[in-house]
Amino acid sequence: MTPSAAQAMSILRDGSHFQWHVIPILVIAIYIYHVEIGRKNWDIVFAGLALWGVDWFNEIVNGLVFHFTQYAPIWGAPAGTAYLIVIGLNIEICLMFLVMGVAVAQVLPRDRAMKLAGLPNRLVIACGFSVICVLVEIALNSIGALAWDYPWWSARSPWLIFLFGYLPMFLTASWVHDMPTVRRKATTVGFLYAFDAVCLAVFASWGWL
């Protein structure tokens, strides 16, 4: 087990690290969704929830990688958190991604067919947000806030972080945003959440997460 993985495991779901900054961040996230729900902006609401659901799926996979290798997760959050939920996801990151999908949906043009630089605007926006997130992760890794222990997932090889870490999240948010009915959006997000919940319940009960 790498030192960063061992450090993360030492604080995993340890409530003694709680800090009060979590509460205002949570309130801000609730407020953002409350505003969008009040305006009946269901495209934005479900886009945000969809991105959050994909992030939870990513974190489940990341936790399973660590369980089966007993070496390291693909990414880890070993320190500086009020609560580490799973080995690569702390409460601060969790709440940040809850809001991230709303931010993405806010900038999506109403015209789905509109081109940006000659390319579909949804793809360009997803790629743009993914690049920004990769750059932020590189900065976090450089100061030790985010741990990478595999050479294929690193600042020198950011392509997998872009392609598998972030692009699916932003594309899914856009996909759900553009669904024709609220019922379809709700069904899709509900299925995603149900799948995540079952995986979390089962794997956590087996001690895999």
Interatomic CA distance for residues 14 and 147, integer angstroms: 19
CA distance 150 to 124: 28
In which residue are the tokens 């450090």 written? Answer: 7
- The CA distances from residue 146 to 3, 61, 104, 171, 184, in Å, are 13, 17, 23, 24, 36
pLDDT at position 165 is 95
- pLDDT of 147 reads 97
Please tell me the distance from the alpha carbon of residue 101 to that of residue 26, in angstroms, as a whole number.
15
Region for residue 157 given its phi and psi (left: phi exceeds 0; alpha: psi -120 to 50; beta: otherwise): beta
Residue with tokens 């996979």: 61
**Predicted confidence band of residue 127 (pLDDT cuts 50, 70, 90):** very high
SS3 35: helix
Angle value at C-alpha 71, between 65 and 73, nearest 5 degrees: 40
Split at pLDDT 50, 70, 90, the class of 72 is very high
